[in-house]
Amino acid sequence: MGLIALPFLLLAGALGAFAQQTQGSQSAPAAVIGGMFFALAILLPIFYAIMGFLIGVIGAAIYNLLAAWIGGIEMDVE
| Whole-model pTM over 0.75 | no
* pLDDT > 90? residue 9: no
Domain ranges of the chain: 2-20+28-70
Instruction: State the Cα–Cα distance between residues 13 and 30, nearest whole angstrom.
Output: 9
Average pLDDT (37-46) is 84
CA dihedral (24, 26, 28, 34) positive or negative: negative
What is the DSSP secondary-structure string of 2-42? Answer: HHHHHHHHHHHHHHHHTPPPPTT--SPPHHHHHHHHHHHHH
pLDDT at 65: 92
pLDDT band at 22 (very low <50, low <70, confident <90, very high): low
pLDDT band at 57 (very low <50, low <70, confident <90, very high): very high
pLDDT at 62: 94
